[in-house]
Amino acid sequence: MADKPKVAFYWCASCGGCEEAVVDLNETILTVVGAVDIVLWPVAMDFKKHDIEAMPDQSIAVAFINGAVRMSEQEEWVHLLRRKAQMVVAFGSCAHLGGIPGLANLNTGAEVFDTCYRDVQSVENTAGTRPQLKFVIDDHTLALPEFFDSVKSLDQVIDVDYYLPGCAPPADLIWGAIQAILTGALPPKGAVLSPNKAACDVCPRKDSKPDKIEIAEIKRVATHIADPETCFLAQGFVCMGPATRSGCGSRCVEGNMPCRGCFGPMDEVYDQGAKFLSAFASILSPKDEAGIERLLDQIPDPAGTFYRFSLPTSLLHRRKSGVPV
């Protein structure tokens, strides 16, 4: 038992889907559990922070951390795990790029609180109560972690060795990464553990893509039913395939949903949203300003669409503070 490499799983600002993804290994997980010693996994096992604090530094072989960093507690945890682990893997889109929680970077922390504790219709909060960092009641002091103004990807907080992309990472990539770690057959530090090719390159609908795409009307899955065989872009749907890394197994496309970009950009791209914007704008058909504007009106939330998973790691990171939405 003592000789097996120690592995930690931790979650930050995430939905739990990455935990599901580990369980999706099915029977393979028994092989994993046989090969390693899991020392932390909040969703499944009862280990506490002090258990990890008591371990010698560098004694954990690898820490898989999913979720974005949104609160001070998560920041403390990832610093602790970085200290205790020889290797840190950013697991899933949120740790890799900021992910869906990162869309909150189009708002400030205070605006998020206003929405959650004041504006949503199911909230009645006439006293205007907001979460406080400290609250004293009957001589007891209660404390909550700080809710940051910005959501951060894992590598914006600690040094990250490898990235497992995806919302959530598919089982074959996870298993491949675990095998590579156990056997030491790893690429250079900083690598994303998925092929550096665009999703379009391996798309099952690749052959239906015409030589030249021209979009005269933008369609949305909420209002249009997509043909299940034809290239989404050729049909006028926003499909992030051209600016998204492959390795996902085209799961969304197989479910007749356009790519939303969860695997993030290829190695050569430093801003996924801008790169997709560039590709997409070039295949729109209008040439006059009025026609272009009319077409662009059909994309209600361009920043949220193009940066759905990567806003915190975009070049601008967030909406400028103090500018109204």
Partner 1 sequence: MATATFEPRIVAFFCNWCTYTASDLAGTARLAYEPNAPVIRVMCSGRVDPQFVLKAFEQGADGVLVGGCHPGDCHYQEGNYKALRRFRLLKRVLTQFGVDDERVRLEWISASEGDRVQHVVNEMTNQLRRLGPWQQARS
List 274, 308, 309, 310, residue binding partner 1 (CB under 8 A): 274
317 binds partner 1 (CB under 8 A): yes
Task: State the binding string over 97-116 for partner 1 (x if CB under 8 A, else -).
Answer: ---------x----------
Region from 12-20, 194-202, 232-240, 276-284 binding partner 1, contact rule CB under 8 A: 276-284
- Which residue lies nearer to partner 1 by CB, 72 or 156? 156
Tell me how far apart the alpha carbons of residues 70 and 62 are, in angstroms, rounded to a whole number.
Answer: 22
Region from 25-33, 193-201, 248-256, 271-279 binding partner 1, contact rule CB under 8 A: 271-279
Please list, in sequence order, all residues whose beta carbon lies within 8 angstroms of the beta carbon of residue 35, skipping any fewer than 6 positions away: 4, 5, 182
Element (H, E) at 79: helix 72-84
Tell me how far apart the alpha carbons of residues 94 and 188 are, in angstroms, rounded to a whole number.
Answer: 22
What is residue 215's DSSP assignment? B
List 13, 165, 273, 309, residue binding partner 1 (CB under 8 A): 273
Tell me how far apart the alpha carbons of residues 197 and 195 are, in angstroms, rounded to a whole number.
Answer: 6
List 55, 147, 269, 298, residue binding partner 1 (CB under 8 A): 269
- Which residue lies nearer to partner 1 by CB, 184 or 322? 322
Tell me how far apart the alpha carbons of residues 118 and 130 are, in angstroms, rounded to a whole number.
Answer: 9
List 84, 260, 275, 308, residue binding partner 1 (CB under 8 A): 275
Residues 136-175, interacting with partner 1 (CB under 8 A): 150, 152-153, 156
List 11, 238, 284, 309, residue binding partner 1 (CB under 8 A): 284
Tell me how far apart the alpha carbons of residues 103 and 81 are, in angstroms, rounded to a whole number.
Answer: 26
Among residues 152, 173, 200, 196, the alpha carbon closest in space to that of 310 is found at 152
Sign of CA dihedral 312, 316, 322, 325: negative
CA contacts within 13 A on the Cβ side of 222: 3
318 binds partner 1 (CB under 8 A): yes
- Which residue lies nearer to partner 1 by CB, 92 or 312? 312
List 19, 75, 161, 271, residue binding partner 1 (CB under 8 A): 271
212 binds partner 1 (CB under 8 A): no
How close are the terminal C-alpha atoms of the chain, in Å? 55
Element (H, E) at 71: strand 69-71
List 84, 96, 245, 319, residue binding partner 1 (CB under 8 A): 319
Total residues contacting partner 1 (rule CB under 8 A)?
A: 42
254 binds partner 1 (CB under 8 A): no
Tell me how far apart the alpha carbons of residues 60 and 53 are, in angstroms, rounded to a whole number.
Answer: 12
- Which residue lies nearer to partner 1 by CB, 77 or 307? 307
List 9, 237, 280, 309, residue binding partner 1 (CB under 8 A): 280
3-state secondary structure of 58: coil
Tell me how far apart the alpha carbons of residues 298 and 3 are, in angstroms, rounded to a whole number.
Answer: 58
3-state secondary structure of 166: coil
* Binding site residues, partner 1, CB under 8 A: 106, 150, 152-153, 156, 269-271, 273-275, 277-278, 280-282, 284, 286-289, 292-293, 296, 299, 301-304, 306, 312-323
